[in-house]
Structure 1
Amino acid sequence: MEQRNWLDRIRDKPGGRIAVKITVTVVGVVVIIVGAVLIPLPGPGWLIVLAGLAILAIEFHWARRLLAFARRQLDRWTAWVKRQHPGIRFLIGAVGLVFVWAVVWASVKVSLGVDLWREAREWVRG
């Protein structure tokens, strides 16, 4: 509740409402852009995008609705996965790990020029 009071006090000052709206917009958009860049990499890309959306939701009704929609979809996906046979859940996890490995491999190959797959095979051969 304190944060709302703090924001309300800023909004009550001359120019405060527009300052809060501009600040929230800039910070939210920057966080979303950073998250979008990180989506293909292993890590919390989508979580960062949702955090940016939550920042925008402080000032924008459309962002609150979109964030609520995203939460509902995530809840639906989680509930669906929990209802699946353990073998299907294992397969979903395995596909996720293969995807992460492919992204890591491609990232290292493109950015550092190192083929992790070849390096691993050579390491195993000794």
Structure 2
Amino acid sequence: MVTKRSSVDPIAAPGPPKVAVRAAEKRGYAVPMEQHDRSGRPAVGDGTPERGAAGVALAERRRPRWRQRLSLTLDLIRANPTGRIALKIFVAIAGAIVVTVGAALIPLPGPGWLLVIAGLGIWAVEFHWAKRLLAFTRRNVQSWTRWVTRQSLGVRFVLGVVGLVFVAAVLWLSLKYSLGIDVVARIMHYLATH
């Protein structure tokens, strides 16, 4: 049984904004009209057989509305040749800035690796190599996290101590060789004089 959802139904996947579609079509650009879920299948509400209310609700939870709007906006920008080039340039520059700042912060305590991964996420909007590298990183971080959580409390404690010692050593070496501040020598001098 094939039924179509009414345009008033709040569960149906929203279509492209009509004003943007009309403007793009008026300029002669092709605008994708069907919405797709993550698997690449057309979403419910586009004339395909329904999967039931539970399937629609689950699909809506998997892909938030803001992501659908962002995806649609990016599709509209990519429909325009100038927009496509401008988007690639913008994404390349924004990703490079975030990755560079993250790489500079890696030796310091803070979100260095997090910023590098965020920069990869920005690049993944337009570049397939970044999407593959981000998926590889995600897989390895998840497998490492699963391995650590399976270990005993003692092993996790040792891993935490090793991580803290590593961060402290990197911080000490960074301050000593980049800013000329030897924290260990100052602490030893302070303890000797007080």
TM more than 0.5: yes
One-letter code of the match for 1:53? L
1:78 to 122, 126, 145: 145
* 1:1-126 mapped onto 2 (5 Å cutoff): 1-125=68-192, 126=194
User: 2 CA distance for matches of 1:20 and 1:94?
Assistant: 44
Task: Indicate the SS of the match to 2:144.
Answer: helix
Aligned residues: 126
| Structure 2 residue ranges without an equivalent (≥5) | 1-67
| Structure 1 residue ranges without an equivalent (≥5) | none
**Share of identical aligned residues, percent?**
56
Provide TM-score, normalisation by structure 2.
Answer: 0.60
> Are residues 14 and 80 of structure 1, via their aligned partners in 2, closer, same or farther at CA, if it must alter by over 3 Å?
closer
60-69 vs 104-113, which moves further? 104-113
Contact map agreement 2:176 2:183 (CA 8 A) in 1 = yes
Higher relative contact order at CA 8 Å, sep ≥6: structure 1 or structure 2? 1
Contact map agreement 2:107 2:171 (CA 8 A) in 1 = no
One-letter code of the match for 1:84? Q
User: 2 CA distance for matches of 1:14 and 1:78?
Assistant: 42
Provide TM-score, normalisation by structure 1.
Answer: 0.89
User: 2 CA distance for matches of 1:14 and 1:75?
Assistant: 38
Tell me by how many angstroms 1:14 deviates: 4.2
RMSD (Å), alpha carbons: 1.6
